[in-house]
A and B are shown apart, each in its own frame.
Chain A
Amino acid sequence: MNTPSGKLPQRSALVTVFLKEIRENLRDRRTLISAFLTGPLLGPILLVMLLNIALNRELDKAEQPLSVPVIGAGYAPNLLDALRAGGVVPRPAVADPAQAVRKQDADVVLRIAPDYGKAWRQGEPVQVELFYDSSQREAGTAVERVARLLEGYSREQGAMRLVARGLSPATAWPLHVARRDQATPQARAVLLFAMLPYFFVITIFMGGMYLAIDLTAGERERQSLEPLFANPVPRWKILCGKLAAICAFSIMSLLITLLAFAVVGRFIPAAKIGMELDLGLHFAAHVVLLMLPLVLLLAVLQSMVAAFAKSYREAQTYISLLMLVPLIPSAALSFLPIKAQPWMYAVPLLGQNLGIMQLLRGDGVSGVQLGWCLAGSTLAALLAVLVTVQLYRSEKLAISS
C-alpha cells in the first residue's frame, strides 16, 4: 500500500482547493451571472440612467427655449423683446397664475401691471410679478433664468437713464461682485458620482458571495465538509484555498465593472454640463490598488458570517445584511461634508471611499494616503483571517446535524 511517504509539498493542498473551487463555480450559472454580469454591470447601467436624467434636465433648463405665460404682455413690448432675446418664449396669459404654478402647469408665470407703460414713461419704478413655487425643485432653474433676465434688463435700462442725465452708471452700483468658482470640471462631477465607490464594493461583494456561502454553509448543507476534513490537510489551508478562490472571483468582477465604467465614461457627455470625467486606465489601476486589501477583507467577512449560518438560505440573509454596511461611509460622505483627516484613510471602506473621490476630483491620491489606506485595510483583513481560521477549527463547524 503506497501511502505517500514523507511530507506533502507545502503549497499543493492550498492550490488544489483553489483550483477545484474555481472549476466548480465556473460551472454554476447562478454564480457566473451574479459575479460577471449583474454585479459588475449594475453600477454602470444605473450611472448611465441617472446621468441621462440629470443631463437632460440641466441641458433643457439651460439652453432650451423656456415658455413662460405672460399676463399683460401688451403693456411692455420692449421688456418682452429682451426676454425673447434671452430664450424665453412668451405664452398666452393664464387666468389664475397662482393655481397654474401650484398645479405645475407652468414653472413660472410673469405678470405685468396695466400701468406699466405709464409709469415707465414717467421714469418711476414699476413692479413686475414672478409667480413660482420654490418647493418644486425642477422649476428652480427656470425661475432663476427669468429673474436674471429681468434684473439684467433693469440694470441696462437704469444705466441708460443715468447716462442720459450725464451720470456714470457706476455711481448706482458701488459694489461689483465677481464670482470665481474654484470647482474644477472634475470636482463638479463628484456630486453626481458620490455613490461610485459603493458600486465597486457591491461588485466585489456579489462576485464572491456565492462562493463564500458555499465555503461553509453550502458544504455543510450538502454534507461534504466532514469528508473534506477527513483529508490530511490542515483546515487553515483549506480555508485559505477557498478565500483565494473568493478573491479571484471578486477581483474579476471588479475588473469587469471598471471596464464597463471606462466604456460608459467615453459616452457620457459630461463636458456639456461643465464636468470632466476620467474613468480610464489611470483611474482603474488606482481603484484596483485601493481595493485589493478590501477584496480580501470582504471575502473573509462574508465567509465568517456564512460560517455562523445553519443553512444556505440563512447565510444568504446574513450576507445581504452585511452588504448594507459599506453603504454607511458612502452615504455619510455624500450627506456630511467631512474634511478628510489622514487617519480616515486607514479606516477600511472609508479610506477607499475617500481615495476614489479624490481620484474623481482629479486631485489624485498621495503616497501617504495610499499607504494609510493599504496598511489599514490589510491589517483589518489579516485580523479577520486569523479570527476566521480560529472559527474554522471549531468541531461543530463540520457537523451538519
Chain B
Amino acid sequence: MIEARDLHKAFGRLKAVDGISFCARDSQITGLLGPNGAGKTTTLRMLYTLMSPDHGQVLVDGIDAAVDPLGVRRELGVLPDARGLYKRLSARENVDYFGRLHGLPEDVLASRREALIEALDMADIADRRTEGFSQGQRVKTAIARALVHDPRNVILDEPTNGLDVMATRALRRFMLHLKDEGRCVLFSSHIMQEVAALCDRIVVIAHGRVVADETPDALRLQTGEANLEDAFVKVIGSEEGLAA
C-alpha cells in the first residue's frame, strides 16, 4: 500500500505539487490521471524517494520515506519517466545488475529473472545487447529490471508512452496480472481510455492538486457525465493539456 499525505513540492516559485493526498491499495490498480504538467511525475518521484517533499509524508507499507528511504525503495518496483538501459549490456545483464543492487542471492535472482522474461514474452531478446532495442523492447526490459526483486508495490510512470497498440495491450494484460497477484499497482497516465480500462480507482490531478479520487463509476456519477472523458474534462475544469 502506498500513501501520500499532503505532499508539497516547489521548484523556485513554481508549486509543482500543492497538497496531494491519496492512497493506492493492494490488489488494486490506481491511476494517477492528469494533463501534462499537472505534477504527476513529481508526485511519483517523491513516492520513490528520488525527491523529498517540502512538506507532507510518504508511507509505503507503513514505512516512512523520510525515516527509511532505503526501506521504502526495497518495497517498491519503479518504472520511472526516464527508463534508459545500459546499451552495452544485454537485457539479461541489465536485469541482473538491478537484482544484485537489491542484494538478491544469485539463485533467487536467476529464477525471478527467468520468470519475468517469460511473463513479459521477451525470451527472444534477452541475450541481445539493448542498443538498438525498439521502444517496446526497452520498456519490457525496464519493467523486468524494476520488478526483479518481487516488490509488493509497483509504480509505473506513463508506462505505455511511445508504445504501439500490440505492446500497449500486452502491457495492460501484464498490469492486470500484477494486480491479480495481490500487488499494489500505481501508474500515471494522461490517456483516458487506458485509465478507464484498467483502474479500480482514479486519482485526478490538476495544477498540483487532487481534484477527484473515485472509482470510475463514482466519477461518472459525481460529474453526471456518462462518458469518462467528459467527466475528466469537467473535474479538471478545462481541456488544457488533455491529449489523446
Contacts and interface: CB of A to CB of B under 8 A. Distances in A.
Contacts of A20: 86, 89, 97
Contacts of A13: 100-101, 103
Interface residues of A, number: 33
Q: Which interface residue of B75, B82, B146, B151 has the most chain A CB atoms within 10 A? A: B82
A222 interface: yes
Contacts of B232: none
Given A231-B73, A234-B70, A223 B82 contact: yes
Given A2-B150, A3-B74, A16 B52 contact: no
B241 interface: no
B70 A224 contact: no
Given A223-B83, A223-B84, A226-B82, A232 B48 contact: no
Contact of B103 (A4, A23, A228): A4
B50 interface: yes
Q: Identify whether the interface residues of B are mostly helix, strand, loop, or mixed.
A: loop
Interface in A216-230: 219, 222-230
B104 A226 contact: no
A398 interface: yes
B88 A232 contact: no
B100 A16 contact: yes
Contact of A227 (B104, B142, B149): B142
B180 interface: no
Interface string B36-78: 0000000000001111100000000000000000110111101
Contacts of A230: 48-50, 73, 76, 78, 80, 146
Q: Which interface residue of B101, B102, B146, B150 has the most chain A CB atoms within 10 A? A: B101
Contacts of B86: 20, 24, 224
Contact of A222 (B87, B100, B108, B183): B87
B84 A224 contact: yes
Contacts of B152: 1, 3
Nearest to B101: A231
Given A395-B50, A398-B50, A24 B70 contact: no
Interface in A195-232: 219, 222-232
Contacts of A2: 108, 150
Nearest to A17: B101
B203 to A, nearest CB: 21
Interface of A: 1-4, 8-9, 12-13, 16-17, 20, 23-24, 27-28, 219, 222-234, 395, 398-400
